[in-house]
Structure 1
Amino acid sequence: MPQSDHPSPEATRPRPARLQSIAGIGVDRMGSRADLSGRDLLRLENLDVDIPPDPEVVARTRSAAETDSDNSYLPFIGQEQLRKTAARHVSKLAGLDYDGTRNCVICAGGLSGILNVLLATTEVGQEVIVTDPTYAGLINRIRLAGGEPRFVPFVFTPGQPWRLDRDALRRTVGPKTRSLLLMSPSMPSGGLLDEEDWRLVAQLCVAHDLLLILDSAMERLLFDGRTPLHPAGLPGMADRTITVGSASKELRMIGWRVGWIVAPEAYMPDLVAVSLANVVVPVGIAQAAAALALERSLETLPPYVAELQARRDLLIEEFAGLPFGVPAGGWSLLLRASDFGLTGAELSERLFAEGVCATAMEGWGIEHGDQYLRFVYANEPVARLRGLGDKVRRALGC
C-alpha cells in the first residue's frame, strides 16, 4: 500500500491544554509486561493486595447482585446505609458529628472522589499543595481540575522514616494557594504526618483560609503501634476539611470501586453537583458490602495491619545497608537508585531480569521522583519476599 504524504489526524490534532502535563503512572505498563512474560515474577509493581476481603463482605456482595434495589441508579448520591456508616466512621476518627444525610456523598472509588472534590473547589490556576513524593494519579487530577500542584518534600534519611519538611511547607503557602491535598501515611513513601505536622497544617489553613482535602485511603494502616490522628478535629479545621475515603486499601475491596466524601454541609451542594455530572452513581451492588466492611473493620483490620507490618519488617531486613525510607504505614517502600548511578527505571529493568516486577517513580515527585524505585509489598506474602534483598543487590551490582 503506498504511503500517504499527509500525516494522520492523530498526529496533527491538538491536545486539550489540560492534558499537556498529564503523566503516565507506569503501573499499567509494568503490569502488562509481567502478565505477558509467562514467568512467575514477584509482583511488586501495583497497588494490589493478595489478602482477600472479609468473607462476610464477599457474601453480602453476592446477595446484592440478586437484589433489585441494588441494581439501580438510585439514589444518585449513594445508598443511605453506606452514607450513614461512612459519616459515623469519619466522626469517630475526627471527634466530630457528621451526619450521613447532610455531610456525605458516595463516589466510585477514592480517586474519583478526589477529582470530584478538586473540581468542586478549585479555580483554574489555583495552587494545591501536595507532598513530594505523591502518587502521580493525584497530581494528574489536580491538573485535570485546572489546578497547579506545589510540592513540599518529605525529608529522606536512609534507613529512617520519612519526615515532612515543615519549613518548606511554610514557604510553599502563597497567594494562589487554595488547598492542601494530603495523605497520611502517604502513598507511595509511607511517610506519616505526626501531630506536630498536622497542627502546623491546621495553623496554616486557618491563617490563610485554606481547604484541607484529606485522602484517608490508608489512615489506619499504621505500623509500630502508631494511631491515626484525623485533622478535621483540630481547632479551626471542622469547617475547612473534606475527607475522601475508600474501600480499596483499608477494606481490601479494590474491585468494588466504592469511596465516600465527608464534608462540611456548605460544600455539599457543589460536591453533589459535580458527582452527578461525573460518574453519577457508584456501583450499586458494592455499597451495602462496603458499609458492612466498614462496620466490621475494627475486628478485621488488626490482623491485616499486622501482616502488612510483617512484610515491611522483612523488607527492612532484606534491604539493610541500602538507601531506602522506612514506611510508617501503607503498602509500599522506596529505594533510592540514584546512589548507584541509576534511575528508578534502569533499576526496574535490571530487576525484571532477576524476576522482580517493580515500577519506577518518574512523575511521582520532583525531589523524590525518578531517582527511586517503588516496591509494593501488599501483594506478595513474606515467604515469597525472602531473598528480595539479594536480587536487588545483584541488580545494583553491589
Structure 2
Amino acid sequence: MSVRRLDNIPGFSIDKVAAAAGRDPDVLRLENLDTDIPPPAGVIEATRAAVGEDEANSWLPFTGRDDLKDAVAAFIERRGGPRYDGGREVVITSGEGDAMLDALFCLTDPGDEVVLTDPTYAGMLNRVRLVGATPRLVPLRVVAGDWRLDLDALRAAVTDRTRVVFVNSASFPSGWVADSAEWAAIAELCRDRDLTLLYWAAFEGVLFDGRTVLHPAALPGMRDRTVTIGSTLEHRMIGWRVGWVVAPGGLVDDVARAHIYNGLVASGFAQIGSRVALDAPDDGSATAELERRRDEVLRQLDGLPVVRAAGGWSLLLDTAAMGIDCSDLSARLLAQKVAATPMRGWGGEIADRYLRFVFSNEPVARLALLGDRVSRAVNLSET
C-alpha cells in the first residue's frame, strides 16, 4: 500500500553513493555533509560532562532549555540580525530537519505554494511536498562564474496561492550567497505580496572571499515576516542534532505545538554543548580552512565547468555542459575512488545538470588527488 503523500518524494541519492563507496580509506569522501574539522573549543568537554546528569536526561522542557534559547537570540543579534526574546520567540528542535517541517506546517496549508531556488537542498524541497504544499522553483543562474538568483523569474513565480519564500544562504548544495540586491528583492516581494520568508541559516557564517553576513530579518519590515531556522551544523556538530526555529510573536506558539508532536525535545546534553558553541568566539579558522579546501577543489577541476562556491561546504560541476549525465559521472568517479552525489531531484532542470562535491571532510593534501581521478572518469565517459 502506498499513500499519495509520498508519490513525488524520492529518497536521497547520498546514501546510495556512500554505500557503494563502502569503507575503502582510499576513496575521497565528497558525497556527504560530514566534516573532520572539530567543533569549537569546549563543546565536546561540556557535552561529555552533561551526559548522565538528571537535567540533561529529561523530556523537559519540551521547547528547549531557556539558556540555549537565549544563546540563539544573542547569536543572531551578534550576526547583525534583530533582537529576539529567547524565551518567547525561539523553539529548540532536534536538528534543522524537524525545524523545517515544524515551520512549514505552521506557515502553509495543503495546496499553498512555496518558492524555492533551483538547485536547492532536497530536504527543503521534499519537506514542502510532505506538508502538502506545492514547490515553485526559481532558477539560480551562473553569471560571470558565480551563482545569481533570477530576480525576474522570482517575481513571476509568485501567485495568489504563494505563502512562503524558502531560501538558504550560503546555499546548499550550490554555494550561492545572496547579495544585498537579491535580499532586497526578496524582502520587497515578501512585503508587497504579504509573504513569509523562511530562511535556513545553517551556513550563514561560512562565507568566502571577504563576504560578510547579511541577515534578512534585519531588512526594513522583515523582522515579523521572517522565520529563521538554524542549527549547530555550521559549528561542525553534525551528531549533536540540535536546531531551532526563531518565529516572531504569536507564531512561535504554533511552532512549539507542531514540534511537541513532531520532534518533542532535543537531547539535553546536546543542547548544553550547543550553548557552549553559540557562546564561543569565532576566530575564523574553520571558515579559513574550508576556503582553502574550496580553492583546492577549484584548482583540481580547473578547465571544467565548475561553479565557484561563495560559501558553504560544497560546490557543483555542470556535467551536462560536458555531455555527461550526472548519475553516470558519479558512477564512473566511484570506479576512480571518488564519491560524489548527483543532484537529480535537488530542484528541477538546473539541478539535474550537476554533480556535487562536498569539500568539508577531506584535507587539502587528499583533495590534491581529485583532478587526476576526475580526468580518468571523464575520459572513460568519452570512450
TM range (shorter): over 0.9
Partner of 2:129: 143
In structure 1, the partner of 2:190 is 205
Of 289-298 and 365-374, deviating more is 365-374
Q: Is the 8 A contact 2:41 2:280 kept in 1?
A: no
Deviations, residues 27-50 of structure 1 (Å, cap 9, x unaligned): 1111122225x4520000001111
Q: Write out per-residue CA displacement over residues 78-119 of structure 1, whole angstroms, 9 at most, x where no aligned residue.
A: 011100000111223344220111110100001210111001
1:276 matched residue in structure 2: 260
Other-structure match for 1:290: 274
Give identity over the alignment, percent.
Answer: 47
How far did 1:55 drift? 4.1
Q: Look up the equivalent residue of 2:279 and give its one-letter code.
A: E
| Conserved 8 A contact 1:204-1:210 | yes
1:245 corresponds to: 230
Aligned to 2:358: 376
Residue deviations 1:211-231 (CA, integer Å, cap 9, x gap) = 000000000000001001001
What is residue 154 of structure 2 aligned with on the other side? 169
The amino acid across from 1:391 in the alignment is: R
Are 1:225 and 2:201 an aligned pair? no
Partners of 2:125 and 2:347 within 8 A in 1 = no
* 2:29 equivalent to 1:47: no
- Which secondary structure state, in structure 2, belongs to the residue aligned with residue 153 of structure 1? strand
> What code does the residue aligned with 1:274 have?
A
The secondary structure found in structure 2 opposite 1:171 is: helix
Residue identity opposite 2:368 in structure 1: R
Contact persistence 1:348–1:358 (CA under 8 A)? yes
Residue type of the partner of 1:219?
Answer: E
Matched-pair contact (CA < 8 Å) for 2:326–2:352? yes
Match of 1:323 among 295, 305, 319: 305
Q: Secondary structure at the match of 1:305?
A: helix
2:219 counterpart residue number: 234
Q: State the distance in 2 between where 1:297 and 1:363 align.
A: 37
2: CA distance, partners of 1:19 / 1:94: 39
Q: Can you give the 5+ residue segments of structure 2 that lack an aligned partner in the other structure?
A: none
SS in 2 for 1:298: coil
Per-residue Cα deviation, 1:116-144 (whole angstroms, up to 9, x for no partner): 10011111011111111011111110001
**Which protein shows a greater Rg?**
1
More divergent stretch after superposition (21-30 vs 211-220): 21-30
Opposite residue 259 of structure 2, the aligned amino acid is: S
Residue 390 of structure 1 aligns with which residue?
A: 372
Q: Please say if residues 47 and 331 of structure 1, whose CA atoms lie closer than 8 Å, have aligned partners that are also in contact.
A: yes
Query: Following the alignment from structure 1 to structure 2, what is the Cα–Cα distance between the partners of residues 127 and 270?
Result: 20
**Is the CA contact 2:140–2:147 (under 8 Å) kept in the aligned structure 1?**
yes
Determine if contact 1:104/1:262 at 8 Å carries over to the other structure. yes
Asked if 1 retains the 8 angstrom alpha-carbon contact of 2:33 and 2:313, the reply is yes
Given that 1:43 and 1:380 are in contact with CA atoms closer than 8 Å, whether structure 2 keeps it comes out as yes
2:338 counterpart letter in structure 1: V
SS in 1 for 2:79: helix
1:196 and 2:164 are equivalent in the alignment: no
1:239 alignment partner, SS class: helix
The residue type equivalent to 1:320 in the other structure is D
Cα-to-partner distance string for 1:335-363 (whole Å, 9 max, x where unaligned): 01112221110001111111101111110
Moved over 3 A (4+): none
With normalisation by structure 2, the TM-score equals 0.97
Contact 2:21 2:337 in 1 (8 A): no
Cα deviations by residue, 1:51-93 (Å, 9 ceiling, x for unpaired): 1213410000001103111110111110111000001112233
Residue 90 of structure 2 aligns with which residue?
Answer: 104
Determine if contact 1:345/1:370 at 8 Å carries over to the other structure: no
Query: Which residue number corresponds to residue 311 of structure 1?
Result: 293
Q: Which amino acid aligns with 2:212?
A: T
Aligned partner of 1:4 in structure 2 is: none
Question: 1:227/1:270 Cα in 2 relative to 1: closer, same or farther (>3 Å)?
Answer: same
Q: Do the aligned residues in 1 keep the contact of 2:6 with 2:130 (CA within 8 Å)? A: yes
* Counterpart residue type for residue 213 of structure 1: L
Match of 1:342 in 2: 324
Q: Please tell me whether the aligned partners of residues 131 and 151 of structure 1 are also in contact (alpha carbons under 8 angstroms).
A: yes
Are the aligned partners of 1:94 and 1:232 in contact in 2 as well (CA < 8 Å)?
Answer: no
| Counterpart for residue 14 of structure 2 | 27
CA distance in 2, matches of 1:317, 1:311: 10
**For the Cα contact (< 8 Å) 1:153–1:367, is it kept in 2?**
no
Please say if 1:215 is aligned against 2:190.
Answer: no
Task: Give me the whole-angstrom Cα distance separating, in 2, the residues matched to 1:171 and 1:205.
Answer: 13
Matched with 1:93 is 79
Are positions 1:259 and 2:247 aligned together?
A: no
How far, CA to CA, are the matches of 2:103 and 2:54 in structure 1? 30
Q: CA RMSD in A?
A: 1.3
Paired residues of 2:169 and 2:178 also in contact (CA < 8 A): yes
In structure 2, what is the Cα distance between the partners aligned to 1:292 and 1:58? Answer: 9
Maintained 8 Å contact 1:24/1:363: no
Q: Does structure 1 conserve the Cα–Cα contact (< 8 Å) formed by 2:17 and 2:339?
A: yes
